Amino acid sequence: MTGEEMAARLRLTPRLTKQLKLGHVSDMDARRLLALSPRAGDMSGVAFRGFDLRGEERGIYQVRRDNPDIERGKEKNKWMSQQGKAGRYINTTPGALKPKDLVIVVESPKSTWAIAAWAERTKLKNIKVVDTNGLPGYLVRDSEKESSYPNPDLMLLAGHDVVHCPDSNATRPDLRTHVERFQVHLLESVGVNSLRTVRLVEQFKGIRVNGPDDLVTILDGGDEEFTRLFHAARPAWEEAFPLASDFADLELKADLLIPHLIANRAITILAAPIESYKSIFAMHISRALLTGKPAFEHFRVTAQVSKIIYCVPDMSFELALRYARDIGLDQQGVSFHLRTMKQGELLGMEHPLIKAAAREGAYIVLDTLNYFIDEDNNPQVLNTFATKVRHLIDACGSPGALVLAHPTKAGARGAEIEVTEWVSGTYSKVGVVDAIFCLKKVPLSAEHPSVPFSVYVTREKSRPFLGVRLDAFTIDVTKLDEGRFPVHQKPGAAPPARELFPKKGGHPPDPQKEDKKRWIDDHLKQQQQSGAKPISAAELARRLNSTFNSVHDSKTISVWMKELVQDQRSMAKIAKP
């Protein structure tokens, strides 16, 4: 592409074409002008001149390569930027920034010039367009070993009205973080007078729109559409907290892979005691997702996944393979990928190989949770872990994750399946996962001859299912030798858990426990604020029992007081910046 062709493509006005002086540079000249380190490939292409906010020309800022690298059939490294300290400035059009200029911030130099041309065509005055060379491009660093920091040139925007126009993909959760950090810097550190955000459309009249330059170079209505979006720009905070009315036409429906069981792009917890067939359950879910066959011979599959990576460090490779082989997961064409300790060390959720699998559409199964985190009852640890899994889904494109976990001892002993007693660190897990299933092995019982040796399944959190109820059901485990794990009692037909499970000692869950703990916390605070003498656990138990008509002893009150202290410490850690 020649400089003239690039100018025409960006719809530059004659004045801007003369200022930019687009020209073609050879591979050797591009390497010299951009101070590029040795690298393979042809660097020749169209050269864009650079100008800073003080009005000074800074030589060649970027080159659009004629022959970019090709990776997986897509162009890569299309644009090469000036390296070293000489390239650390905020690029703009010729002329110094004036006090009354409205600043439009875009991502790329070609957007800078295309939007400057749009402003001239639409007769807008006092417009200064600048670019950050990508969302995180406003960050610079003095050497590879040093931390990055915001480009000091941004301080020249202090006191100006600013309109931020990132590319259309900036709404992605991983990129949204960069947008918000940049905007916070402008508001808090730079001190801009106002900050609004343009929300670009992803396509216009059937043409894909990435940056604003793609929109304004569409001859049939591109200028008018960008003008509409520009004038509709909202205060930056409104993009962080969008109006519900923006989604009035959005049809709300569950996005499900297996209705009632597995939602698309969701984190699902499967909690069960040891030897309760949770690995078998997970593998049958895997088979359904990969083959489209009904899960447990009952739940239809509405969307399949292309591949599954099943990470199971607590099982030998041979046993895991046997489980998979029994149900046909080892057949050709079924992309069921196993990883045990035989294949190497444990891989964390941030590992490049896990991310690569997620980018290729792999659903992730982790068997079991305690191998992948240090403390499964620590809110801070759980939140960090969940953030990494969510990144695999939202940023890398994984269709979801199924995480197997062990229940608490109290939950495993109880006659009821109650999520707060069943899943350790419940309040942390409930906040960061989308669905929770609990499994428990049903014992053979003379009182219930209709129930075979089976597994009782109940869904205890149902966020992605939008209020669609799923009653408990049981799965027959007597047919595992046939490679089958079918539903025995359909949802709604299974008896309540308390009729199936004998209590194994200990006290039943107290449904008022959290209310009582809050009462204790409030009572102790009132005592402290009033300056009264500290009271004993026995006296606190007497007062609580009088209030709730209960019979708790001082030992129970002491345990709850320790739990309150632990809860407060955990929340204090989370609250730290």
3-state secondary structure string across 367-418: CCHHHCCCCCCCHHHHHHHHHHHHHHHHCCCCCEEEEEECECHHHHHCCCCC
Is the pLDDT at 446 greater than 60? The verdict is no
Q: How confident is the model at residue 452 (pLDDT cuts 50, 70, 90)?
A: low
What average pLDDT score do residues 381-404 get? 91
What average pLDDT score do residues 252-276 get? 89
Is the pLDDT at 85 greater than 70? The verdict is no
Q: How confident is the model at residue 234 (pLDDT cuts 50, 70, 90)?
A: very high
Is the pLDDT at 553 greater than 70? The verdict is yes
What average pLDDT score do residues 455-472 get? 90
Is the pLDDT at 431 greater than 80? The verdict is no
Q: How confident is the model at residue 114 (pLDDT cuts 50, 70, 90)?
A: very high
Interatomic CA distance for residues 18 and 15, integer angstroms: 5
In which residue are the tokens 């879910």 written? 285
Q: How confident is the model at residue 428 (pLDDT cuts 50, 70, 90)?
A: low
The DSSP symbol for 496 reads: P
Strand pairing of 307-311 and 362-366? parallel
Secondary structure in 3-state letters for 33-81 = HCCCCCCCCCCCEEEEEEECCCCCEEEEEEEEECCCEEECCEEECCEEE
Choose among 442, 267, 428: nearest CA to 358. Answer: 267
Q: Which stretch, 50-59, 70-79, 173-182, 298-307, has highest mean pLDDT?
A: 298-307
Q: pLDDT value at position 103?
A: 97
Q: pLDDT value at position 84?
A: 65
In which residue are the tokens 């009205």 written? 161
3-state secondary structure of 460: strand
Interatomic CA distance for residues 62 and 64, integer angstroms: 7
- The sheet with strand 161-164 has its strands ordered as 91-92, 127-131, 102-106, 161-164, 194-197, 234-235
Q: How confident is the model at residue 577 (pLDDT cuts 50, 70, 90)?
A: very low
What ranges in 185-231 are assigned the alpha helix state H? 212-216, 222-231
Q: pLDDT value at position 189?
A: 96
Looking at the DSSP bridge assignments, the partners of residue 459 are 437
In which residue are the tokens 């896990």 written? 354
Interatomic CA distance for residues 2 and 31, integer angstroms: 18
Would you say 170 and 106 are in contact if contact means Cβ atoms under 8 Å apart?
A: no
* Residue 211 phi, psi dihedral angles, 5° rounding: -105, 170
Q: Which stretch, 9-13, 65-69, 371-375, has highest mean pLDDT?
A: 9-13
The alpha carbon of 91 is separated from its chain's Cα centroid by a whole number of angstroms, namely 32
Choose among 45, 50, 21: nearest CA to 31. Answer: 45
The DSSP symbol for 492 reads: T
Would you say 25 and 40 are in contact if contact means Cβ atoms under 8 Å apart?
A: no
- And the tokens for 41? 């490939």
| % pLDDT > 70, the chain | 90
- And the tokens for 470? 């799923």
Name every residue whose Cβ is closer than 8 Å to that of residue 347 and which is 6 or more positions away in sequence: 311, 339, 353, 354
3-state secondary structure of 195: strand
- And the tokens for 109? 């130099």
Amino acid letter, 71: E
Average pLDDT over the chain reads 87
- And the tokens for 354? 């896990």
pLDDT in tens, 323-343: 999 999 999 999 999 999 999
Is the pLDDT at 570 greater than 60? The verdict is no
Name every residue whose Cβ is closer than 8 Å to that of residue 444 and which is 6 or more positions away in sequence: 452, 453
What average pLDDT score do residues 5-15 get? 91
Is the pLDDT at 251 greater than 90? The verdict is no
Is the pLDDT at 508 greater than 70? The verdict is no
Choose among 202, 272, 195, 276: nearest CA to 238. Answer: 195
What average pLDDT score do residues 350-376 get? 91
Name every residue whose Cβ is closer than 8 Å to that of residue 212 and which is 6 or more positions away in sequence: 106, 111, 114, 115, 165, 167, 198, 200, 226
pTM over 0.85: no
| % pLDDT > 90, the chain | 49
